[in-house]
Structure 1
Amino acid sequence: MAEEHDEKSPPFVVPGGKAVEECEDMIRRSLRHPTVKFLKEHLEKAGCAVGDNFIKAVHCHEQISGGFVRGTGIKVCSNHMTIQDEVNQVVIHELIHAYDECRAANLNWANCAHHACSEIRAGHLSGDCHYKRELLRGFMKMRGHEQDCVRRRVMKSVIANPYCSEAAAKDAMEAVWDVCYNDTQPFDRAP
């Protein structure tokens, strides 16, 4: 998901984007966020320890905020981060993917339905689509904004999966929507 910077080409940088070292400090601060602590605790309860190097800041070539990579951990794209809240959101979103990976014995990221389900859960449970964030993105719809936002963001992510065409991504999202949107584990209800 997140591509590390190589020496050949400069990374894409958001105006005000952070250096890797600065982003590492922001990640350390995010580890004190109550939702991050809750998710880490539940990952460990599920048998998946989160070590010191599980969440890393990197420069990314793609226009993404971060990503979860099976067997590696979470990458936060420092050159796309400008404020602490963005780092917190990326870490929470990606920890939900890590939790899904941990609890599902057969999760296959190449399977469009599996990927869509985890994106639905991460979008719904992370706060990515809180109406204030949507207003800042320029989406002014007040009724039904959260589900529209989750659908929009799921499509963007699943279409980026090389195994999923736009049609396959849409079909997969619709097929798993109800089950995955209503699955709030490890939370009792959507935060």
Structure 2
Amino acid sequence: MSDNNTSGNNTSSTNQNHSQAKEALLQSHKNCISFVKKQLSDPVITFVLREIENMGCPLPNPFFRCERCLHSSLDKPKFSAAYVLGSFDKFDKDEQETDSDTIDTDNFFGKPGVLLCEDVMERYSKSDDKTVILHELIHAYDDCRAMINWKSCEQLACAEIRASSLSGECDFLHETRRGKLSGLRGQFMNCVKRRATLSLNSSAICGGQDNAKHVEDVFKTCFNDTEPFIKRI
């Protein structure tokens, strides 16, 4: 009888753990969606979205999507956010707003959009950090403007330089948090080069190449290109 009680307790405990885990996953999804919707009211974000559409690349609904990215026993994310390449469709913000709890992501791979990893979103939402979205929107802008060959390491280097320099991710506060400040002179450019190189190193296309050289070769031209902004924000 004691064994039966033990077995029953174990089953109850397991069910409770599964229920808690499911609730945690649902909450992380809701938090991610709330984060995205909040960022959609940011004037810089809305400006870039509008500029993309004004160039003739209407954005699909949903354009932003929240998904789990943890994929191994080590719980290492595939990526923190990614611009998924493909053809552009209409983006209807009002339609996205009709459901406050979910974003439909069925059959979405292969379409353009910004993917946010909801299982690591806490580190962004705590600091209300829009740079993760803005970085990817610069990629979307460049893809519309220049039809980038994303398999070219040189073109990818240019895209990463622009995204790192225009998203705000290399500003003083972010570099301080990373513990990367080694002096104010040239720190911003050093950050842009470092982060662009890291992005290329993690790329399936450019990994293993001399990506620091790819970045250096195109740095001046791409760094000085501040479109869609008149100047760096």
Partner of 1:19: 28
Tell me if 1:79 matches 2:119.
yes
Residue equivalent to 1:163: 205
1:36 aligned partner: 45
Deviations 1:75-110 (A, max 9, x none): 0111112243455111111000000000113x1111
For the residue of structure 1 that corresponds to 2:230, the secondary structure is coil
Give 3-state SS (helix, strand or coil) of 1:177's partner.
Answer: helix
CA distance in 2, matches of 1:112, 1:37: 29
State the distance in 2 between where 1:182 and 1:172 align: 16
Query: Does the CA-based 8 Å contact 1:89-1:128 persist in structure 2?
Result: yes
The structural deviation recorded for 1:171 is 2.0
Unmatched runs of 5 consecutive residues or more in structure 2 = 1-26, 71-76, 87-110
Deviates further, 64-73 or 160-169: 160-169
Percent identity at matched positions? 34
Q: Determine the structure 2 residue equivalent to 1:95.
A: 137
- What is the Cα deviation at residue 58 of structure 1? 1.2
Paired letter, 2:31: E
State how far apart, in whole Å, the 2-side matches of 1:157 and 1:126 are: 14
Partners of 1:21 and 1:155 lie apart in 2 by 33
Counterpart of 2:46 in 1: which secondary structure?
helix
Q: CA RMSD in A?
A: 1.6
Of the structure 1 ranges 33-42 and 50-59, higher mean CA displacement relative to structure 2 is found in 50-59
Counterpart in the other structure of 2:68? 59
What is the number of residues matched between the two proteins?
Answer: 173
CA distance in 2, matches of 1:186, 1:88: 17
Runs of 4+ with >2 A deviation: 61-64, 83-87, 140-143, 165-168
- Unaligned ranges ≥5, structure 1: 1-17
Q: Which amino acid aligns with 2:175?
A: E
Partners in 2 of 1:63 and 1:133 — Cα distance?
A: 22
The one of 120, 139, 159 equivalent to 1:118 is 159
Contact 1:66 1:90 in 2 (8 A): yes
TM-score after normalising by structure 1: 0.85
In structure 1, the partner of 2:10 is none
After superposition, give the CA deviation of every residue in 1:4-47 in whole Å (9 maximum; x if it has no partner).
Answer: xxxxxxxxxxxxxx712210111011001111011001001111
Moved more, 171-180 or 82-91: 82-91
* Counterparts of 1:126 and 1:139, CA distance in 2: 18
Q: What is the alpha-carbon distance in structure 1 between the residues aligned to residue 177 and residue 143 of structure 2?
A: 31
Per the normalisation by structure 2, the TM-score is: 0.70
Which amino acid counterpart does residue 78 of structure 1 have in structure 2?
Answer: E
The structure showing larger relative contact order (alpha-carbon pairs under 8 Å, at least 6 residues apart) is 1
Does the residue aligned with 2:217 lie in a helix, a strand or coil?
helix
Return the alpha-carbon distance in structure 2 between the equivalents of residues 50 and 60 of structure 1. Answer: 23
Distance 1:57 1:144 in 2: 36
**Is 2:145 the partner of 1:130?**
no
Larger Cα-atom Rg: 2
